[in-house]
Amino acid sequence: MNKRMGIIFAVILITAIIVGCTGFGRKNDKPVVLTLWHVYGGQTDSPLNQTIDRFNETTGKEKGIRIQVTSVSNTNTIHEAVIAAANKEPGAAELPDMFVSYPKTVLSLPDKDILVDYKDYFNEEELKAFIPEFIQEGMIDDKLMVFPVAKSTEILFVNRTLFDRFSKETGAKEEELATWDGVFNMAKLYQKWSDDKTPDIANDGGNFFVHDYHFNYFQVGCESLGEDFFSDIADGGKLAFGEKFKQIWQPYANAAISGGVWLRDGYATEPLRTGKAIVSVASSASVLYYEDVVTYENNISEPIEVISYPVPIFENGKKMVMQRGAGFCTVKSTKEREKAAAEFLKWLTEPENNIEFVVKAGYMPVTEKAFEELPNASEKLENLKYRSLYEALAKTKKDYTFYVAPQLPNYLDLEMHFEKNVRLELSRVEQEYKDALQNNTQTDINTYIEEAYENLVQAMK
Amino acid sequence: MDLKNEINKPVNTKKTSILDIFKGTSKQSRSMRSKLMLYLFCLVLAGTGILLLLLVAGGVFSESGTRLEQYLQVHLQNQKKDIKERVDLFTTNGIDLSKRLSGFLEREVLSYPYDIKSLDNNEVELRKMQENMYLLLESKLHVTRASGVFAVLDTTVNTSAPGAEHSRSGVYLRIANISGNVLEDDVFLFRGNPNVAMQNKIQIHNRWNMEFDIQNMDWYNEQISADNKKSLSENYLWINRQHLEDTWENCIFLTIPIVGSESGRYGICGLEISSLLFRLSYPKYESKYGDMVTIIAPTDQGKLLVSDGLCGSQGSSYINENEDLFIDPGKTYNTYFNAQGKYIGIQQPIDGVFDLQGRQWSVAVLVSYNSFKEQERYEKLVLVIILMMFSLVMLLISFIISRRFVKPIERGIENLKTEDFYKTQNHSGIKEIDILAEFLKTKEEQYKNKGGALPKEVEELFDRFIENSKELTSSERNILGYYAKGHEISELPDLLCISLNTVRKHNRNIYMKLEVNSKDELQIYLDLLIRCGRINEII
């Protein structure tokens, strides 16, 4: 018996030695590599990339997770790429493991179940640490599919250097920018003031104001005045074009047709960078893209000071502002990869890491604790542009109600069509009005405002 | 115990175990089965040894390395072919762009004698020229599928602007978003007059500037220099990886001078490949030895200068793109290493790709050393396990074969041991045993026919011994019986409950009556009678 045990023991020992020598059963040290498409930084030096580098070198290394950024663009581009990939369109890129998008992208997916429900990886206690509205925005069909990492809102940016020059000669005051009427009146005034600078060239006044999303102006405007911007939500949703809409259309179109509003496609950064507009309403995250200089066509650059205010409001309207900022979606794969994605998001939303990232990118943090610590962090900011932004964000959070856009399946379509049509129609009518002024024909601006409105309503139908 | 049974007991009835095979080697006497099994197993071991030698000689244990090299070679050739095609596409289009720009400038913008500096401070002309250049640049951007295209002219819009000595007019277009393998059509104006963007309905880049800053382009002066008399096809350069100021992107560039018809230099033009575009164009190749990464980079002094080149997507084979790799050349593949890690790979130069320092660029495919070693260990383990399993199976087969082989022999021997084996007609099935049985049978019959087969003198001695034994008393006969069973004198007092002296007294009487002189002589008689089967005649 003892001899038999000895033989068995010897066999086990030999096997163990062989196995040990050959390294079988060694822990697999290959990291889980997760690809990511995000929007934080766009064409600039991305603060999220820097934070990801830090994750990869520290916690990621420890836990065997590596995040690889394969695209930094914008939510619209990601939306198109994700939809193309999800529909397996020819030539479409493969879906990354994680991408940043708004709920509207998820709602447009042919199959929402390709995305991870974060409730499988975050317990209730962990989710309670987040601002409830931010979590709520990412809930689709009772599943948390869009995870908040950084939230933005709309902010009024002013090129104070050029504004002061204008203000000195016209008596315009920054305080007037607190209401939309003030902004649009000032836009008309600025257009005239800049036109008068070159008396030999007629109608060459500059734009004063630029809005990133006209759609948001009208949407929040209507809602702040107590009117639904959308109607027939149960049937897919369309624009209501109610009385309040027309009320807020009036001053906007007036300023635009007069030449005081920048109507070209794209973000507000372009006219501010070239001095072709001096006031903008854009995402707080735009701060990353606003440079501290303006360059003119003669290649002379001038340093400028950019300051921030909460967005203007309508008289008798609620102080309401659009809540913006996309979230992280994770594509379902293996449990190991999904867990790795959740680990990364847990790390990124830890107050210290979250604040480090958001203050560089002009966003708000997403947890209650990080919000408590935000003033300390923003006070330490050396860049005046960023410090001013966080002061404006603090006022916004204190005084304003955040408006969250409804989850309509055709939201993005409506937004894109509206944006395109408003810009197109107002640009066309602006040119018509300019020509009329030149030819001294029909110069009643209200006719043009009405014409543009009717055309817009028609186009949206 | 019955004396007959005692004598007829088999010599060895113990079952043979595997242990006996090993133990048997140190014993003088071994069972036939153990020996056979040992021989068979030795044969199998020798066979396995030869097989191992053949495997080693055939390179099976270095198969992982050979196979990895094959994978690397195939992947390298594919990547090299693709990169070469792309390089050629870029070069031909770059040279074409240079020629077209030169022609356009001389035809539409400059007047003879052509001097690009005549455009200095001419805002209107420069703007018009940029607007006209746009379509050409945009078409090259889409044809080559580069991430950017640029043309810099040796002139500036404002010679009195701060930094004007380093500022040069031109247009730089970049693809707005690169994701996956699909290049978006959207284009940003990175450098140039914003009216160019407005006219062509494109956006300006977030980090737009009006003009190029040639301080960041140390190759500019070299290419623009009038001393540079090389032809266009010789004068293009690949520029090492540069960080695109204020952005998150790194790029390499192909630059070509814009040469006038009278050898004057108007500026430079070229194409950009961003690290992102390269990463997405050259995805990792998943092999069982780990993810293979494609790198293009200059090589110099035994180093692959990764920090100057571009890396394809890396997957699990993480390579720090900012650290160069030392090359340790090998017979079949090279080993690459730096402080961050170790890799296995191969490389080949890309024809016609040189940088400003004259360094040849190469394309390399690399795989993580650790993941390769892990796979190699796994493959060797599988081989070792297979060999072990083979040996175990062979041992089992040896055991069964030896058992099956020896069983009939043992049975035959058992039959031979029976008293009346010659009376039966049992065939063992083994020829040699049957011959032996036949032989013994013949001998037995001869013995019987000769009446006991004992010599006559011995026969007489036995007869007298048996005759004398009839004079023994019952006690003496009883003692004689014990001696026949093999008991010694000293054992008898206990067995018969008598004293040793009494035993000795009986012995003397026995010796006298049977006419023997000693116990040894008596024992010989008894043994012989037992062997002859006549012991029952005296006891």
Chain B closest-CA separation from residue A93 CA (Å): 4
**Whole-angstrom distance, CA of residue A422 vs CA of residue A414:** 12
> Which helix (H) or strand (E) covers residue B532, if one does?
helix B519-532
Q: Which residues of A touch B188 (CB under 8 A)?
A: 43
**Residue A173: strand, helix, or coil:** coil
pLDDT tens string B267-295? 999 999 998 889 888 988 888 888 899 99
Q: Which residues of B touch A33 (CB under 8 A)?
A: 314-316
Q: For B453, how many CA atoms within 13 A lie in the half-sphere containing its CB? A: 11
Which of A3, A41, A66 faces B248 most closely, judged by CB atoms?
A41
Count chain A–chain B contacts defined by CB atoms under 8 A.
Answer: 135
The whole-number pLDDT of residue A146 equals 95
Q: Which residues of A touch B314 (CB under 8 A)?
A: 33, 68
**Whole-angstrom distance, CA of residue A334 vs CA of residue A306:** 47
**Whole-angstrom distance, CA of residue A354 vs CA of residue A131:** 13
The whole-number pLDDT of residue A1 equals 44
- Residue B346, both tokens: 């191969």
> Which positions ≥6 away from B419 have C-beta within 8 Å?
B8
- Could you count the other beta carbons within 10 Å of the beta carbon of residue B410? 19
Chain A residue at shortest CA distance from B164? A299
Is A299 in Cβ contact with B158 (below 8 Å)?
yes
Q: Which residues of A touch B207 (CB under 8 A)?
A: 43-44, 291
**Residue B9: strand, helix, or coil:** coil
CB A177 within 8 A of CB A279: yes
Chain A closest-CA separation from residue B318 CA (Å): 9
Query: A67 forms bridges with which residues in the sheet?
Result: A34
> Which helix (H) or strand (E) covers residue B368, if one does?
strand B360-368
Is A299 in Cβ contact with B156 (below 8 Å)?
yes
Return the residue in B152, B179, B371 with the most chain A beta carbons within 10 A, the one to mutate for interface testing. Answer: B179
> Which helix (H) or strand (E) covers residue A71, if one does?
strand A65-72
Return the residue in A43, A65, A94 with the most chain B beta carbons within 10 A, the one to mutate for interface testing. Answer: A43
Q: How far is CA B255 from CA A36, B94, B271, B355, B416, in A?
A: 32, 7, 7, 10, 103
CB B105 within 8 A of CB B266: yes
pTM above 0.80? no
**Whole-angstrom distance, CA of residue B105 vs CA of residue B111:** 9
Is A301 in Cβ contact with B176 (below 8 Å)?
no
ipTM of the complex: 0.81
Query: A302 forms bridges with which residues in the sheet?
Result: A294
**Which amino acid, one-letter code, is at B190?**
F
- Grouped pLDDT means (10 residues each) for chain B, 539 residues: 41 50 54 80 83 78 78 93 94 94 88 87 92 94 93 94 93 81 72 91 88 90 76 82 86 93 88 90 87 94 93 83 92 89 93 88 93 85 85 86 84 77 70 82 74 70 87 89 88 88 90 88 87 81
**Which amino acid, one-letter code, is at B178?**
I
- Residue A96, both tokens: 């990354």
**Whole-angstrom distance, CA of residue B499 vs CA of residue B487:** 16
DSSP assignments along A364-417, one per residue: B-SBHHHHHHHHHHHHT---HHHHHHHHHHHHHHHH-EEE-----TTHHHHHHH
C-alpha R_g of chain B: 52
At residue A282's C-alpha, the angle toward residues A277 and A287, to 5°, is: 90
Q: Which residues of B touch A24 (CB under 8 A)?
A: 377-378, 381
Q: Which residues of B touch A295 (CB under 8 A)?
A: 208-210
CB A225 within 8 A of CB A244: yes
The whole-number pLDDT of residue B13 equals 44
- Helices A411-439 and A243-257, axial angle in degrees (round to 10): 50
At residue B416's C-alpha, the angle toward residues B412 and B422, to 5°, is: 120
CB B168 within 8 A of CB B153: yes
Q: Strand A32-38 relative to strand A65-72: parallel, antiparallel, unpaired?
A: parallel
DSSP assignments along B408-467, one per residue: HHHHHHHHHHSTTGGGS----S-HHHHHHHHHHHHHHHHHHHTTS---HHHHHHHHHHHH
Per-residue pLDDT of chain A (461 residues; tens, 9 = 90+): 455 555 555 565 556 555 555 554 444 567 888 989 888 877 777 788 889 989 998 999 899 999 988 877 778 788 888 888 888 887 777 788 999 998 888 988 888 889 999 999 999 999 999 999 899 989 998 999 999 999 999 999 999 999 999 999 999 999 999 999 999 999 999 999 999 988 888 778 899 999 989 999 999 999 999 999 999 888 878 999 999 999 999 999 999 999 999 998 877 888 999 999 999 999 998 898 888 999 988 899 999 999 999 999 998 899 999 988 889 999 999 999 999 999 999 999 999 999 999 998 899 999 999 988 988 888 888 889 999 999 999 999 899 999 988 888 888 889 989 999 999 999 999 999 989 888 878 778 999 999 999 999 999 98
- Could you count the other beta carbons within 10 Å of the beta carbon of residue B431? 9
User: Which residue stretches of B9-122 are H helix?
Assistant: 18-24, 32-57, 63-104
**Whole-angstrom distance, CA of residue B151 vs CA of residue B173:** 9
Q: What separation, in Å, do the N-terminal and C-terminal C-alpha atoms of chain B show?
A: 15
pLDDT tens string A324-360? 888 999 999 999 999 999 999 999 999 999 999 999 8
Number of H helices, E strands in chain A: 18, 18
Q: What separation, in Å, do the N-terminal and C-terminal C-alpha atoms of chain A show?
A: 92
- Residue A169, both tokens: 């000669």
Is A298 in Cβ contact with B209 (below 8 Å)?
no
Beta-strand runs (E) in B178-332 = 178-179, 182-183, 187-191, 203-209, 212-213, 237-243, 250-259, 265-274, 285-287, 290-300, 303-304, 310-311, 325-328
The whole-number pLDDT of residue B22 equals 52
**Whole-angstrom distance, CA of residue B430 vs CA of residue B58:** 44
> Which positions ≥6 away from A285 have C-beta within 8 Å?
A40, A150, A152, A324, A325, A361, A362, A363
**Residue B173: strand, helix, or coil:** strand
Chain B residue at shortest CA distance from A14? B388
| Cα torsion angle, A324, A219, A264, A290, sign | negative
Q: For A185, how many CA atoms within 13 A lie in the half-sphere containing its CB? A: 14
pLDDT tens string A79-120? 888 888 888 887 777 788 999 998 888 988 888 889 999 999
CB A60 within 8 A of CB A27: no
Is A73 in Cβ contact with B313 (below 8 Å)?
no
The whole-number pLDDT of residue B155 equals 94
